[in-house]
Each structure stands twice: as structure tokens, then as C-alpha cells.
Amino acid sequence: MSVVAIARVLLPAGLEPIRDLAKIRIGGVDATPDRVREITAGAEALVADPTVGVDAELLDAAGPGLRLVANFAVGYDNVDLEECRRRGIVVTNTPDVLTNATAELALTLTLAAARFLSEGERDLRAGRWQGLEPGAYRGLELSGATVGVVGLGRIGGRYAELLAGFGVELLYAARSPKPEAEARLAASRVELEELLRRSDVVSLHAPASPETHHLIDAEALRLMEEQAVLVNTARGSLVDLAAVAAALREGRLGAVGLDVYEDEPRIPAEILEAPHAVLAPHIGSATIKARDAMARMVTDSVIAVLDGCEPPNRVV
Ligand code: GLV
């Protein structure tokens, strides 16, 4: 029987269809890299997620029988694609089914950060709130604001669509123009520098890559408005958190809404202590609908590869 290694966990929606087809080894949510290597040895398929680094070392540990890395995520920066390609290992991801969920979380973080929701709730729970105060918690109103979307792909595009009812001016920065989306969303394409200068809200939707590493650094933050809101639901590596924390502390940035961090699950103390930060624990795709669909997609890839068929959503 084929061995399928699930580096951490797979939801029942994904597990059930393969339960009788393969011998399943499960690392558990707290699986260490050693444990993942151990359960992957001799496997034909590996189910990974963004917290699992699929590198040459893990692929060596898996051995020559490994045919598939099915990543439970749309992003696959945790997988060394070149190594997989070189070894003839197929890599798949889970696009589309999480687009709405992630765009909705980006909108949630935009609104929550713009209105200092975390701060207000913390004050209230701690008994510091003394009743309505005209000058307190005055945030950014989305109506009439300029929103800059960095990366107008599936998730960035859906986020822009959701914003349509708010009466915002939409800017976007992207490697290539998106004429259809521009027309549909009344969005204007500008260079990143102009987007940072003009936007009241900047929301990141670009993949992690060497080009996007610390796209938002101290220099980028200097271009942004003092009241601006920064939202990141893409990947932590896009943002230099130390620079963001300093900007928040010094009042050079209005607020942030973050769902992803560079070294998850470790969060630097400086961002935990910074004012005006709404911090979510990487829950972009965490709706029942999206996560079940992602689990099924991962399993569809596993079944296809074990059957010797072409899997859906192949990236390598
Ligand atoms: C989650 O982070 C994903 O890429 O799907």
C-alpha cells in the first residue's frame, strides 16, 4: 500500500477519501522538522502547508519514491520548486477555493485596523473605558478613501471588488496591467511608489519572492501617509516588521492589520507592543467552506498521483 505522509494535519474532508487507499502517517500540528522527516521517509505523497519547509533535506529523507508534494495553501514559497522539478516530484496547491475567504479577511483587517478595534476592545476588557469620548479612537473612514492594492491577482482582485460598495478610489500596483479588472473596478495602475504616497490604505496581495522580500521597509514606510493603514494577508516576508513597529510607535503610520508574519508562529515583541496593530493568527483561508475545499483539493491531487494521473492545480 502507498504511504501518504501528512506533515501536520489534514481535515476529515480530505482524510476520509484516502483512508482506505493508502497508509496514512500524520505528523500532528506540533510536528518538528525531525518528525516530518521521519514520517515522510518512504512516502509516495507528502501533504505540506506553509509552515512546513519542503527543502532538499526533507526530500532526501523522503527517498526516491516521493512523487507528490501537495501544499495545503495557494502560496508555495515553503516548497523548493527547483529541487522538486530536478527530482521529478509534482507540486500542487489549492487556489481559488480560498479567494473569497482571504479577501474577506483582508477587508476585515482593513476595517478593524482603520477603527483601532483591537485597542478599543483591550481598553474595554481591562476596565479602562470611561464612556463615549469624542476625541477617542478616531480612525479612518473608508468612504472617500484611496485604497492601494499591491498585486491584483485573484485575492487582490476580489478584495478590490468587495471594496466597491465603500466608495473608495482604487489604485493598484502590479507587474503587468490588468485592463479587464481596471475597467470593471475603476482602478488605476500606478507605480508602487506613487501608490504608497497616495493611498490611505495599502493592502498587500503579492506572493513571497526575492523581489517582494521587505517590499514594505523603512524607506517604503517613509513614503506613506502618517494616518495610513497597512494590511498584509499575503506573506510575512513582504513586510519588515521592525520598521513597521517603529513607524507605529513614532506615529509615522496610522495602523496595521496583519495576518502573516515572517517567522511564524514567532511574533517579534516590538509588534506585539506597538500601538494600533490588529494581529490575526494566519487565518486568511480559515472559513469552514474554504478549508474543507482545500482539504479535498489536496486529496484530489494525492489520489490522482497515486493513480498515475495528472493532478489538478499542478505548479511543478
Ligand atoms: C495560505 O497562507 C495560503 O497561501 O493559502
Q: What pLDDT sits at residue 204? A: 99
Residues of the chain with pLDDT > 70, as a percent, come to 100
Q: pLDDT-derived band of residue 289, with 50, 70 and 90 as boundaries?
A: very high
How many whole angstroms from 144 Cα to the centroid of ligand 1? 31
Using one digit for the tens of pLDDT, what is the confidence trace for 156-197?
999 999 999 999 999 999 999 999 999 999 999 999 999 999
Q: What pLDDT sits at residue 108? A: 98
Whether residue 284 has its Cβ less than 6 Å from ligand 1 = yes
Q: Which domain holds residue 92?
A: 3-97+288-306
Identify whether residues 174 and 198 lie together within a single domain. Answer: yes
| Beta carbons of 171 and 147 less than 8 angstroms apart | yes
What are the backbone angles phi and psi of residue 231, rounded to the nearest 5°? Answer: -125, 130
Q: What pLDDT sits at residue 274? A: 98
- For residue 73, which atom of ligand 1 is closest to its CA? 5
Residues of the chain with pLDDT > 90, as a percent, come to 100
Q: What is the pTM of this model?
A: 0.97
Q: Atom 2, ligand 1: which residue's CA is nearest?
A: 73
Identify whether residues 111 and 254 lie together within a single domain. Answer: yes
Identify whether residues 7 and 138 lie together within a single domain. Answer: no
| Beta carbons of 112 and 257 less than 8 angstroms apart | yes
| 284 closest CA partner among 147, 180, 155, 166 | 155
Whether residue 236 has its Cβ less than 6 Å from ligand 1 = no
Structural domain includes residue 314: no
Identify whether residues 144 and 170 lie together within a single domain. Answer: yes
DSSP state of 275: S
CA 311 to chain CA mean position, Å: 24
Q: Atom 3, ligand 1: which residue's CA is nearest?
A: 73
Structural domain includes residue 176: yes
| 113 closest CA partner among 284, 257, 246, 280 | 257
Identify whether residues 165 and 233 lie together within a single domain. Answer: yes
Site of grid cell 500532528 = 28
Identify whether residues 93 and 103 lie together within a single domain. Answer: no
Structural domain includes residue 44: yes
Kindly list the catalytic residues: 235, 264, 282
Count the domains in the chain: 2
Identify whether residues 143 and 235 lie together within a single domain. Answer: yes
Identify whether residues 267 and 173 lie together within a single domain. Answer: yes
* Integer Cα distance of 280 and 258 in angstroms: 6
Using one digit for the tens of pLDDT, what is the confidence trace for 239-275?
999 999 999 999 999 999 999 999 999 999 999 999 9
| Beta carbons of 235 and 260 less than 8 angstroms apart | yes
Identify whether residues 49 and 69 lie together within a single domain. Answer: yes
Whether residue 50 has its Cβ less than 6 Å from ligand 1 = yes
Q: Atom 1, ligand 1: which residue's CA is nearest?
A: 73
DSSP string, 215-260: SB-HHHHHHS-TT-EEEE-S-GGGB-HHHHHHHHHTTSS-EEEES-
Whether residue 274 has its Cβ less than 6 Å from ligand 1 = no
Q: pLDDT-derived band of residue 211, with 50, 70 and 90 as boundaries?
A: very high
Q: What pLDDT sits at residue 82? A: 98
Identify whether residues 106 and 243 lie together within a single domain. Answer: yes
Averaged pLDDT, 22-37: 98
How many whole angstroms from 192 Cα to the centroid of ligand 1? 23
Return the CATH number at 91. Answer: 3.40.50.720
Whether residue 36 has its Cβ less than 6 Å from ligand 1 = no
Identify whether residues 186 and 212 lie together within a single domain. Answer: yes
